[in-house]
């Protein structure tokens, strides 16, 4: 997910932040980019980082776990409607079932487990959001304008 780094984010618009404004932690450069966008975008009315807990059952162990989505936001649409969304920042490779290699490797098995756990978290988040009338969106490197989407082969 790019160069890994973390730190504390200092918002330029602290009145928009929902939660402890002195303890906003980013865990990657991608999350930092998303925070800058949430903080500076005038259509975003409120936002929070890891402020929501959603329960899900992990396919890894069959037990309930807590999922803290990366962000929640309240925003105004171009039509003036107020909406809410849950945002998750993930590389596109973790949003797709890994391609099975000729022989099963430990890396491939770990990627399959990561994919399955992410899918379980996101399905729980979609259901939670749907009940509230919210959206659930995964932001990958293309949505964050970190990379250009590869062109489809002709």
Active site residues: 31, 70, 90
Measuring CA to CA, which residue among 8, 58, 15 is closest to residue 32?
Answer: 8
Please count the residues of the chain: 154
Helices and strands counted in the chain (H then E): 2, 8
* 28 three-state secondary structure: coil
With 0-12 CB in 10 A as exposed, 13-18 as middle and 19+ as buried, what is 150?
exposed
C-alpha–C-alpha distance, residues 118 and 92, integer Å: 12
| Whether the Cβ atoms of residue 65 and residue 55 lie closer than 8 Å to each other | yes
The secondary structure of residue 15, as a DSSP letter, is G
C-alpha–C-alpha distance, residues 154 and 143, integer Å: 23
């Amino acid at each position: 997910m790019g160069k890994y780094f973390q730190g504390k984010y200092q918002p330029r618009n602290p009145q928009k932040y929902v939660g402890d404004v002195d303890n906003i932690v980013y865990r990657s450069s991608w999350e930092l980019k998303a925070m800058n966008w949430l903080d500076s975008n005038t259509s975003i009315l409120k936002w929070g980082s890891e402020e929501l807990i959603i329960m899900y059952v992990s396919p890894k162990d069959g037990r309930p776990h807590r999922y803290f989505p990366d962000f929640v936001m309240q925003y105004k649409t171009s039509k003036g409607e107020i909406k809410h969304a849950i945002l998750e920042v993930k590389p596109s490779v973790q949003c797709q079932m890994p391609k099975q290699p000729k022989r099963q490797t430990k890396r491939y098995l770990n990627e399959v487990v990561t994919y399955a756990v992410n899918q379980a978290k996101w399905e729980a988040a979609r259901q939670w959001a749907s009940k509230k009338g919210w959206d659930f969106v995964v932001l990958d490197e293309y949505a964050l304008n970190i990379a250009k989407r590869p062109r489809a082969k002709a």
